[in-house]
Structure 1
Amino acid sequence: MSRIVPFETTLEVRDACLCLHVQRAARALARRFDEALRPVGLTHGQFSLLMSLNQPQPPALGAVARLLAMDRTTLTAALKLLERDGLVSSRADPSDRRSRWVTLTGKGLEVLAAAVPIWRETHAAVEAGLSEPGPDVLRAGLLALT
């Protein structure tokens, strides 16, 4: 059987595909932060979700979903786990019973406070390991893709 797509194309995609490289980097970063945050019982995704809720007023879930690039169904499932663990609480929005307010509980605030120094240390180590032009240029490039 002859190849319709030559092996050279496979090598081209392996070496050039931005999506593949971003996915691989995201998985490596996720593993690193998951390991670092394990002592406080969080994953990197849970840390980001708790941090997104750390606001003076409960944020709209749509805004949280957009910030975290999650669909509402995935966000709701993640919040249910955090609520089960006592890290967040939810209640109906008094002005619109169809909407829900999700806030950090006292326990959620304590866990988040314990996680921040771990995140800072891990994040600093990741940034220190980046070659020039450095993390600011990387962040700008990634933001340009969103």
Structure 2
Amino acid sequence: MSNPQVIPFATTLHVKDTCLCLHAQRAARALARRFDAALKPFGLTNQQFSLMMALNRPEPPTIAPVASLLAMDRTTLTAALKPLERQGWVNVETDARDKRGRRLRLTDAGMAVLVAALPEWKRLHGEIEADLTAIDADSLRRGLLDISAPPKSGE
């Protein structure tokens, strides 16, 4: 019987302290909880708020650019739209230019919810930015955008 390989506990601690993925996941979960709590009185989750804001455009977008912006696959986006449709906040309509395509439109009720929720989002967002001590918010955003950018060809 062979001896299994063992990873030293020091390596576990090193991964815990340095893993960018772990730290990004922890931060994302903490932020999500804070925004979920702040947006709950408006009947929204942070994901729904971001999705509805992504639909706030001069012309209703198709699914692909919204999915890309939110880093979701089309199936996940379609599932996320269902409760918003049931609430009457979003309509999924046939694209007048391409009957196979769908356009995503905020309803008047959906816009009213966003208008009501936006001041609370701004308040909490400002509070979170003000609490950052190790890095300024613009540098953090740039770093996160760098990480989330599609890989360059050949990578």
Paired AA for residue 94 in structure 1:
A
Q: Distance in 2 between matches of 1:2 and 1:55?
A: 57
Paired AA for residue 72 in structure 1:
R
1:132 positional shift: 4.2
The aligned residue for residue 125 of structure 1 is 127
Q: Distance in 2 between matches of 1:44 and 1:79?
A: 14
Q: Which runs of 5+ in 1 are unaligned?
A: none
The aligned residue for residue 89 of structure 1 is 91
1:61-80 counterparts in 2 under 5 A?
61-80=63-82
Deviations 1:85-137 (A, max 9, x none): 11001111112111111101111000000010010000000000001431011
Task: Please give the TM-score of this superposition, normalised by the length of structure 1.
Answer: 0.96
Q: Distance in 1 between matches of 2:109 and 2:140?
A: 34
The aligned residue for residue 112 of structure 1 is 114
The answer to whether structure 1 residue 38 and structure 2 residue 40 are counterparts is: yes
Task: Say which SS state the counterpart of residue 115 (structure 1) adopts.
Answer: helix
Paired AA for residue 68 in structure 1:
L
The aligned residue for residue 143 of structure 1 is 145
Q: Which runs of 5+ in 2 are unaligned?
A: 149-155
Count how many residue pairs are aligned between Structure 1 and Structure 2: 146
Task: Say which SS state the counterpart of residue 91 (structure 1) adopts.
Answer: strand
Q: Distance in 1 between matches of 2:43 and 2:27?
A: 23
Q: Distance in 2 between matches of 1:57 and 1:27?
A: 32
Task: Say which SS state the counterpart of residue 12 (structure 1) adopts.
Answer: helix
Paired AA for residue 66 in structure 1:
S
How many percent identity over aligned positions? 58
Task: Please give the TM-score of this superposition, normalised by the length of structure 2.
Answer: 0.91
* RMSD, aligned CA: 1.1
Q: Distance in 1 between matches of 2:68 and 2:78?
A: 13
Q: Distance in 1 between matches of 2:105 and 2:8?
A: 53
